[in-house]
Chains A and B, each alone.
Chain A
Amino acid sequence: MIQSLRRVFLTLLFLSISTPNIFAFEAGEGGEEEPVIDIVGTVADHDYFKAFGAKIYLPRIYYWEDAAGETHLDFYTSVKSAEASEEFTHSEEGVTVPADGGHIIVDMSLTSHLLYFWFGLGGAVFITFLAASRYRKGVGRDVEPKGALQNLFEVLFIFVRDEIAKENIDDHKYARFVPYLFTVFMGISFMNLFGLLPWAATATADLTVTGTLAVITFVITQFSGTKDYWGHIFWFPGVPGWVRIILTPVEILGMFTKPFALAIRLFANMLSGKIMIIAILGLVFIFADAFGTAAGLGVGVFSVSLTAALYALKAFVALVQAYIFTLLSAVFIGMAAEDHEHGEEGYYTEHVE
């Protein structure tokens, strides 16, 4: 509890410090001339999908309100076709807006992060299906699992089942949450690892993705909450009545800070790694731009070797963060779904002390 509050505080601190800097960076560099390297542009979500040097523009879906107050749902194959349709125009801030007033209510456009989210989760579902078909045939059920892939899959699956789910959730309940935990673990791992590809985007370095995942964990947690869990939130047992005036708001706040910390932790970790690598590699171009090619080459030696080391670290962090997200999800669910099997007396002494 204290730890998650501290994390939230630190995250807010991080946001309060870093956001103006990013603003300044964007305004200062972008305003006067083309920046040498655009960090924010690289890590941000895009309306195109980049692979092997080619850009594929993704369809736009806008649910918007025009100046007259009428709502429309429009579909365009790309931003260009949207802006060519005369319904939309490119605003001065670089955003697509309706041409004659009005605003976009919901932007349901496909983006690069969404595609990588689908790749990640799709990859997780795909290999699970692949493994499931083998198990259905009896390989791994009647006989031993065969082949490196199935064994590797089993290591991961049993890790999630035993070390994450069984460890934190009551024995008779854990099986229900294994599909979610495994999907999230594999999906986040895939998304994080896809993010290591130089041309790819890290879907988990997007607050929307991590936030939505955390919301799902939050919803599952609340729906698996026992009477005891709600009792602890609204009517904390074993404390004087007036303390509850303080405790209840804190507990209610705690319900939300947990998934919030979950979202911010994953997002910040993945984003920071990405920014760090871009910044360090960007030094090469900044130096080359400022002091000539030789300086750029010189810095390149340093930058590239550091980046190589960072990549190894990032590959490790990618799995660790997936593990942490899954583990904490399991812990939160386990805390909510826990059955307290104790008599009233022991219960009070246990909680008062």
Chain B
Amino acid sequence: MTLLLAGGSFLSFNTGFAIWILISMVVFLFVMTKYAVPPIMKSLAEREQNIKESLESAEQAIAKAEKISEDNKKALREAEVKAQQIRKEALDEAELLRTERINKAKEDAAHIIEQAKASIEQEKKQALMELRSEVAKLAVRSASIIIDSELDVEKNNKLVDNFLSDLPKN
């Protein structure tokens, strides 16, 4: 069937030719729709999804890393503050301890000095006593030597003792 001009002209609509084209188009379209295009569409969609997800997860990771670094900084600051505090406390404590020690040492020293003084006093007293008895003995002996054995030892001792007790204590 020709529409406008008898065969061969470009303005004709050729039914047989149209049937061919329709059949070929149906075949081509079937092949394209069924086999060729879907894997491409799917791959592209998958890739786009992948890229989208990757970008999103990267953003999340960055946010997370930023948060972590922020946390770290905060922790560091806190640690520094705490360290400062601890140092200060330690210093204070050390100061306290030192003064305490010094005081104690001073006390101890005073105590020792006191004891030493007391023992010196004691020694001195004893020494005096010993000295006194020694002196008495010496005096008696010397007196006995001098005056000889006629003299009554007992009376003499009493005499010396009296003399000695009259002596000043120191």
Residues on A facing B (Cβ under 8 Å): 15, 19, 22-23, 40-41, 43-45, 61, 63, 93-96, 105-111, 113-114, 117-118, 121-122, 124-125, 128-129, 131-132, 135-136, 140-142, 154, 157-158, 161, 175, 178-180, 182-183, 187, 205-209, 211-213, 215-216, 271
| Interface band, chain B | 35 or more
- From residue A7, how far is it (CB to closest CB) to chain B in Å? 18
Q: Does B12 contact A (CB under 8 A)?
A: yes
With a 10 A CB-CB cut-off, give which of A23, A93, A129 has the most chain B CB atoms: A129
A107-B14 contact, Cβ under 8 Å, with A117-B21, A135-B43, A179-B29: yes
A231, chain B: closest CB distance, angstroms: 29
Q: Is B85 among interface residues, defined by CB-CB distance under 8 A?
A: no
Which of B3-11, B122-130, B151-159 is the contact stretch?
Answer: B3-11
Distance A265 CA – B13 CA, assembled complex (angstroms) = 16
Picked from B11, B20, B38, B42, the residue with its CB within 8 Å of the CB of A108 is: B20
Is the beta-carbon distance between A182 and B32 smaller than 8 angstroms? yes
Q: How far is the CB of B16 from chain A (nearest CB, A)?
A: 4
A95 interface neighbour in B7, B15, B25, B41, Cβ under 8 Å: B7
B34 to A, closest residue via Cβ: A179
Q: Is the beta-carbon distance between B47 and A125 smaller than 8 angstroms?
A: no
Q: Is B149 an interface residue (CB 8 A)?
A: no
**Residue B91 at the A interface, CB < 8 A?**
no
B142 at the interface (CB under 8 A from A): no
Are A128 and B17 CB-contacts (below 8 A) given A95-B8, A180-B33?
no
CA separation between A206 and B33, bound complex, in Å?
A: 26
A-B CB proximity, top 4 nearest: A141-B43, A135-B43, A179-B37, A107-B16
Residues of B within 8 A of A121 (CB): 24-25, 28
Decide: A208 and B21 in contact? CB cutoff 8 A. yes
B35, A43: Cβ atoms under 8 Å? no
A113, A128, A161, A215, most chain B CB atoms within 10 A: A128
- Beyond known contacts A45-B14, A106-B16, A128-B36: 13 more, CB 8 A cutoff: A19-B11, A95-B7, A108-B16, A111-B17, A114-B24, A121-B28, A141-B43, A205-B10, A207-B10, A208-B14, A208-B18, A209-B21, A216-B25
Query: Does the CB pair A125–B31 fall under 8 Å?
Result: yes
Q: Which residues of B contact A216 (CB under 8 A)?
A: 22, 25, 29
**Residues in B neighbouring A271, C-beta threshold 8 A:** 10
Contact residues of B: prevailing secondary structure:
helix
Asked if residues B28 and A187 are in contact (CB atoms below 8 Å), the reply is yes
Specify which chain A residues have a CB less than 8 angstroms from the CB of B19 in the assembled complex: 106, 108
User: Shortest CB–CB separation between residue B82 and chain A, in angstroms?
Assistant: 50
0 or 1 for each of B58-83: is its CB under 8 Å from A? (1 = yes): 00000000000000000000000000
Residues of A close to B38: CB separation below 8 A? 179
A208 touches B17 (CB 8 A): yes
Nearest-Cβ distance from residue B144 to partner chain A, whole angstroms: 133
Chain B neighbourhood of A154, CB < 8 A: 44
- Assembled-state Cα–Cα distance A183/B5 (Å): 31
Shortest A315–chain B CB gap in Å is: 21
17 A-B pairs with C-beta separation under 8 A: A44-B9, A45-B10, A45-B14, A95-B6, A107-B17, A109-B16, A128-B37, A129-B35, A135-B44, A141-B44, A175-B41, A179-B37, A180-B29, A183-B32, A205-B10, A208-B14, A213-B21
Q: Is the CB of B18 within 8 A of A212?
A: yes
Give the distance in Å from the alpha carbon of A9 to the alpha carbon of B19 in the complex.
Answer: 28
Residues of A within 8 A of B43 (CB): 135-136, 140-141
